[in-house]
Chains A and B, each alone.
Chain A
Amino acid sequence: MRAMSLLEIRDLYVHFKTFDGELKVLDGVNITIFEGEQVGLVGESGCGKTLTGKTILGILPMPPGNIPKGEIHFLGTQILKMPPRERRRLSSQGLSAIFQDPLAALNPVYKIGQQLGDVLKYSAKAKGKNLARKEIRAQSIALLRATGLPDPERILNSYPVQLSGGMRQRVCISEALSTGAKLLVADEPTTNLDVTIQYQILKLLNQLPEERGASILLISHSLGVVRNFTERVYIMYAGSIVETAKTSVVFSDPLHPYTKGLLSSVPQLIPKAMSEGIKGDVPNYLEPPKGCRFHPRCEHVMPICRMEKPVSSSSGDNHKVACFLYQR
């Protein structure tokens, strides 16, 4: 089984300094990803999902961001304390990312062949190898073909604007896979795409890393996407993880009121009346609610919820929930 944890985030806090005061966004996040695992991270917009992804990748602008507390262990090393140069080397080999908008992720003035070739060239260089032009081209073609792109030779010779959204995202996936990364952070990779394309891209993201032995952190606001394409899921609300378990367990037996609320908000193919959604909005991070950050929106709020922050407690089968309703 997977004993070795690839990435471990322990009690991570991320704050932002602004003119209005300090935004306390991440509030003690704990996430563990094992080798070869496909993990989902879900929540509404403004919950800190993308921020978590950026902190892992080390692309968070600091300042204004700062990390008052917390650790991120990747391949057994604490990467937050590393000197920048070393960290870059480690993440250039071990970490990759796919972003929401592939048009913004690709450089508009270089051909795909140039961009993909550069990634291959410099990641080989970092490993002390020099690739000949022919090898780069052959590898690029193989990568593009692996992502199901027809006519890779033509694509290498195209600019990003000449491709469709789905094709661009496939190019981004091949770039992300080209370095032989151990962990792929996919931040809303299909939000801009149509459902039929979304299905194909997610299928690809499910297969390719597995073939190459990589893990995936799939960040999404869509519960359906996460249910169909991950093995384990973290539900995030207002900067903390409120519930985590195997994906099938969370969807068949959700515990946290926030998870329940989210699930009931999703329209379904079964005829029924539309649900009410969850009342209220994601809190303001300048002065987040005391105690459990979900309490102003919670239907089951108790006096203790307003005072203390619930800790994550196990309710069996690796199902953890941070809610006083389940604390014993």
Chain B
Amino acid sequence: MSKNAILTVSGLKKTFATPQGVVRAVDGISFSMGAGATFALVGESGSGKSTAAYTVAGAYRPDEGDILFRGQSIAALRVRPHLLKKEIRMVFQDPGSSLNPRRSVRQILDLPIKLHDDLSRTKRAERVTELIRLVELAANLASRYPHGLSGGQKQRVAIARALATNPSLVILDEPTSSLDVSVQAKIVKLLQELQEKFRPAYLFITHDIVLMRNVASEVGVMYMGKLCEKASTKDFFENTIHPYTRMLMSSIPVISEVEELLIPKQLVPKGEIPSPIDVPPGCSFHSRCPMRMDICTQVDPVMVEIEENHVTRCHLYQGAKGASSSE
């Protein structure tokens, strides 16, 4: 893994005990992201992408595996140090429930600055004004409460709150999936501009694989708690390998003929994600896979490198170049 990686996750596992059995929400995922990069974790609901994000954010402690932040392990910490909380921040899916309804925008934005920076009251007020301007909100909204804002405006406040402490890693958990397309476009554009200005790395959790074409620098696809393909964005979209990823791609309702040429045709989406309690033996995707072989029902494939920086976990490619396990 590269030297200047800001976040390195290796063999991360998180299970939950339920009355019906053990759910392996995240079952050994590994990835690494550089400073100022955008890593997209894509998957259907129930694939474990949000659990992975919450574990990185520190809401859950992993059962196994390691999380390195700037080279230091933070997986085993029971309480994260103050400074770490300043560096890793999060934006949630539903801004309606992640903003305190009884605090005004000004108060919401003031709190992280008060907690993490030693600034005078006037300096803090200046910083709040600056944040509001940065996320392109009208200055007069500062005294409003969340219920008086539209969905897009609320998400802007949530983004401003995350960036208030100048973090080096922001976890975005489906930040635009509750918004209209025209609002989504504006929010994503804003996120990109802010990244250019302040260089935070984004861990982008999403189910929208198309959105990632123009946002992410690297994409990883999750299925039933495991990564099944990971590559740099260009490679990922130009040379999609794993049958699940191709199934995802061929389900995309595209809006132009040019795009239609880009999606794999021969894979018709079928089936549903199985129950996370009894995961199919072998490759967890075999129940839906059109290219299933005998071995798939018995042995779980390992990650292999297909080309530089492009890994996949599928028996079709187990014999590929340098089949050295990277897991």
- A residues sitting closer than 8 Å to B (CB atoms) are 44-45, 164, 166-167, 194-200, 202, 221-225, 227-229, 251-252, 261-278, 281
- Residues of B contacting A261 with CB < 8 Å? 182
Alpha-carbon separation in the docked complex, A265 to B180 (Å):
9
Selected from B182, B189, B209, B258, the residue in CB contact (under 8 A) with A44 is B182
Residues of B within 8 Å of A268, CB to CB, are: 210, 213-214, 254-256, 259
Interface window among B10-18, B28-36, B103-111, B262-270: B262-270
Tell me if A274 and B188 are in contact (CB < 8 A): yes
Docked Cα-Cα span, A93 to B269, in Å, equals 33
Would B182 and A198 count as touching, CB distance under 8 A? Answer: no
With beta carbons under 8 angstroms apart, the residue of B181, B209, B251, B253 that contacts A265 is B181
Smallest CB gap from B192: residue in A: A274
Q: Bound state CA distance, A198 and B178, in angstroms?
A: 17
- Cβ-defined partner of B44 (8 Å) among A196, A273, A278: A196
CB distance from A152 to the nearest CB of B (A): 16
Pair B192/A262 contact, Cβ less than 8 Å: no
With the chains together, A195 CA to B189 CA distance in Å? 24
Interface residues of B (CB under 8 A from A): 44-45, 150, 152, 180-186, 188-189, 192, 207-211, 213-215, 234, 237, 247-248, 250-259, 262-263, 269-270, 272-273
A195 in contact with B44 (CB, 8 Å): yes
B250 nearest CB neighbor, chain A only: A199
B207 touches A228 (CB 8 A): no
Decide if A267 touches B182 in the complex (CB within 8 Å): no
**Cβ-defined partner of A278 (8 Å) among B182, B207, B208, B211:** B182
CA distance A276 to B152 in the complex (A): 13
Contacts of B254 in A (CB 8 A): 224, 227-228, 268-269
Contacts A196-B44, A200-B270 hold; do A276 and B185 have CB atoms under 8 A apart? yes
Say how far B2's CB is from chain A's closest CB, in angstroms.
24
B210: contacting residue among A196, A267, A273, CB under 8 A: A267
Q: How far is the CA of A202 from the CA of B253 in the complex (A)?
A: 10
The residues of A that contact B211 with a CB separation of less than 8 Å are: 267
Residue contact B180 to A45, C-beta cutoff 8 Å: yes
Q: Which residues of A contact B252 (CB under 8 A)?
A: 195, 224, 269
Name the residue of chain B whose CB is nearest to the CB of A192: B45
Q: Which of chain A's residues have a CB closer than 8 A to the CB of B215?
A: 274
Complex: chain A residue closest to B207, CB-CB:
A194
B167 to chain A, nearest CB (A): 22
